[in-house]
Amino acid sequence: MSGEAMELKDAIERYAEAVPPGETDAARATFQRFKAALERGALRAAEPDGQGGWRVNTWVKRGILLGFRLGVVKEVGGGGALPFVDKDTYGIRRFAPDDGVRVVPGGSSVREGAYLGKGVICMPPMYVNAGAYVDDGTMIDSHALVGSCAQVGKRVHVSAGAQIGGVLEPAGALPVIIEDEVLVGGNTGVYEGTIVRTRAVLAPGTILTGGTAVVDLVHDRIYRRDGDQPLEIPAGAVVVPGTRPIRGGVGARLGVSLYAPIIVKYRDDRTDAAVRLEELLR
């Protein structure tokens, strides 16, 4: 951890529970420095632990929450018949050409405190919330959401209508993790701290939550959240929406089935060709 990060950590932890009387201006100044570090990518709500896993930076999430507590509700832009009204600590991010981020006209919004890497493309309308980290070369397509503190890797395609859930509280909760080169299909939803490993493919309409059981037909096993261990989609898995039958009771008698995503295969040359076609469209 850098010297700046250590200094910010100490200050955030001091103010996180309560701001002492007379120190509101100092706390807001600390938060502005903290927010700028988030936007540079120098701080992250979660990061790789160096051993193939992920760790939550609880103090960073507490700093994001601090910004909401310090904020004052004001008109923050928009104008017209329906002006934007929000906490003044979280305005709308502005980008310059040197930032290397493409924000295509048409109603998109990126909240302050979010990091977008070089080559990120934002297709309208889309939204990225505070604390999110979107790495280089990723595309966020129309009507897609990247929630607060979500971690999205390099060269990910978040397709139209996809929802990458966010989480701020509890501060120790792992956010959604989408690793490098994942293809998130249209109208897909990934929520509740799910980890999608490198180069996985989520077919359109796939929903992944903390309570989802994912059936792996290739390896004859079921993946699910286990206590504090999040649901993980293996690297290279191709996941499609599916169902599994209820085996007992009235559900069995009525032929009812439960939703269950299914891993039908792992990425091969044909899958990679489809992903490369997506890249050509950028």
Task: Kindly report the number of other CB atoms within 10 A of residue 58's CB atom.
Answer: 16
The DSSP element (H or E) to which 222 belongs, if any, is: strand 221-223
Do 206 and 171 share a structural domain?
yes
Query: Are 233 and 193 members of one domain?
Result: yes
Domain stop point among 43, 73, 103: 73
Contact 178, 160 (CB under 8 A): no
Specify the CATH number for the domain of residue 215. 2.160.10.10
Number of structural domains in the chain? 2
Q: Where does a domain end: 73, 102, 125?
A: 73
pTM above 0.85, yes or no: yes
Q: What is residue 278's predicted lDDT score, i.e. its pLDDT?
A: 54
What is the rounded CA–CA span in Å between residue 63 and residue 30?
10
Residues 113, 147 within the same domain: yes
Answer yes or no: is 86 within a domain: no
Q: Is residue 84 part of a domain?
A: no
Quick one: tokens of 222?
Answer: 């079921």
Contacts of 251 (CB under 8 A, 6+ apart): none
* Shared-domain flag, residues 47 and 103: no
Q: 228 and 162 in one domain?
A: yes
State whether 46 and 142 are in the same domain: no
Q: Are residues 148 and 247 in the same domain?
A: yes
Answer whether 138's CB lies under 8 Å from 162's CB.
no
Does residue 46 form part of some domain?
A: yes
Q: Is residue 32 part of a domain?
A: yes
Please check whether residues 180 and 69 belong to one and the same domain: no
From the list 62, 33, 31, the residue with the least C-alpha distance to 45 is 62
Do 26 and 152 lie in one domain? The reply is: no
Pairing of β 237-240 and β 262-266 = antiparallel
**161 and 41, same domain (yes or no):** no
- Backbone torsions φ then ψ of 155, nearest 5 degrees: 55, 40
The answer as to whether 141 is a domain residue is yes
One digit per residue, pLDDT tens: the chain, 282 residues?
788 889 999 999 999 989 999 999 999 999 999 999 999 999 999 999 999 999 999 999 999 999 999 999 998 766 667 778 899 999 999 999 999 999 999 989 999 999 999 999 999 999 999 999 999 999 999 999 999 999 999 999 999 999 999 988 888 899 999 999 999 999 999 999 999 999 999 999 999 999 999 999 999 999 999 988 999 999 999 999 999 999 999 988 898 999 999 999 999 877 665 555 555 555
Claim to verify: residue 53 and residue 105 sit in the same structural domain? no
**Do residue 54 and residue 124 come from a single domain?**
no
Residue 38's domain is classified under what CATH number? 1.10.166.10
Residue 143 structural domain: 93-280
In a domain, 153, yes or no: yes
Is residue 50 domain-resident? yes
Establish if 85 belongs to a structural domain. no
